[in-house]
Structure formats: structure tokens, C-alpha cells
Amino acid sequence: MKTWRFPAFTLAILYMAFLGFVAKSSLSLPPQMASHFNAAGEADGWMSTEAYLRFIALFGAGLPLLWVVIPQTFRYLPAQFLNLPNRDYWLAPERREATESYLIRHFLWFGSMQVGLAGGIHLVVYQANQNSPARMPGGLMLTLLGLFLVGAGLWAMTMIRYFQRGVPAARG
């Protein structure tokens, strides 16, 4: 059975890199910074640096923790509360531990994607605030969000396909 050590290690490294980058870059952010931009890349919303740093830390470090905690709770829930394809097969006593391990591993990877997204967003906002007036490079944020959505879609399809495969055909 695969363990979840490698994805947990990857998430931990990404956390450290993200938090280090936010801490280091925060030293050169203006006290009042652009935090929202219109489609043309022009700043149209501002906030204090302290409020922005709280937001980005929550988004980049707090929210991914949710993806770590959620699958940990699965082991305490009765099978009827879990919505999986072929639930009875995957949550049978002889497969439940392997199923829980797969879900933990898979959600750790999603948490890693979330930290990567937050780091990318912070990089774009940081770079935009280095200009005077603050201006976001065209299309960069959309590219970042598009990549995340593609990754999230692949993540979801991988999980669905995993739980749809391997189930013996019903005998009539």
C-alpha cells in the first residue's frame, strides 16, 4: 500500500517556501497596497499590508489545512455518510484502510496545489505593487487561475476514475 509520506513532505516543503516568500516579500510592500485589479490590470481595490498578509496567509496556509483535515475525518464516519462511486466495495472492512490512505494522499496533493496557487497569487500581487502606480501584468492572473482549474479538474477526474475502476462486475 502506498503511504502518504511523500505528498505530506511535498506539502510541508511548499508551506515553508510559501511562508518564507510571504515573510521576505512583505518587507518591501507599501503600507497601503493594491489588492484587486480590473481586467485591464489597473488597481481598483486597496487594503493595508497587514490585512493583505493576514488574507494571503489564511488563503495559502489555513485553507490547505482543510484539505489535510477533511480526509482524516473519514475514518470516523459511517460508510453511509461518504459519497464515493462504488462505496460499498471501497469501504468494505478489508479495503477501508487502503481507501482512507488513498484519500489522504489525494487530498494532500490538492492542498499542495492550493499552496502553489496562493504563492502564485502573492507573487503576482507583489510584482504589481512594485510598480507605481500598481499594475498587474496582463493575463498573468488568468493564466495562474486557469492552470489551477485544469489541475483541480485532473485531480477530481483521477479520484473519480480510481473509485470507478477495479470493482468486480455484479453477478446476476
3-state DSSP assignment of residue 135: strand
Q: pLDDT at position 166, please?
A: 64
Bridge partners of residue 42, in order along the sequence:
135
Q: Whole-prediction pTM value? A: 0.88
SS (H, E, C) 43-66: EEEEEEHHHHHHHHHHHHHHHHHH
Q: Which is nearest to 71 in space by CA: 153, 165, 166, 7? A: 7
Query: What value does the mean pLDDT of the chain take?
Result: 90
DSSP 75-89: TTS-GGG---TTHHH
CA atoms within 13 A on the CB side of 162: 16
Per-residue pLDDT reduced to its tens digit, 52-95: 999 999 999 999 999 989 998 988 988 889 888 888 899 999 99
Q: Give CA angle at 77 (68, 149), nearest 5°.
A: 40
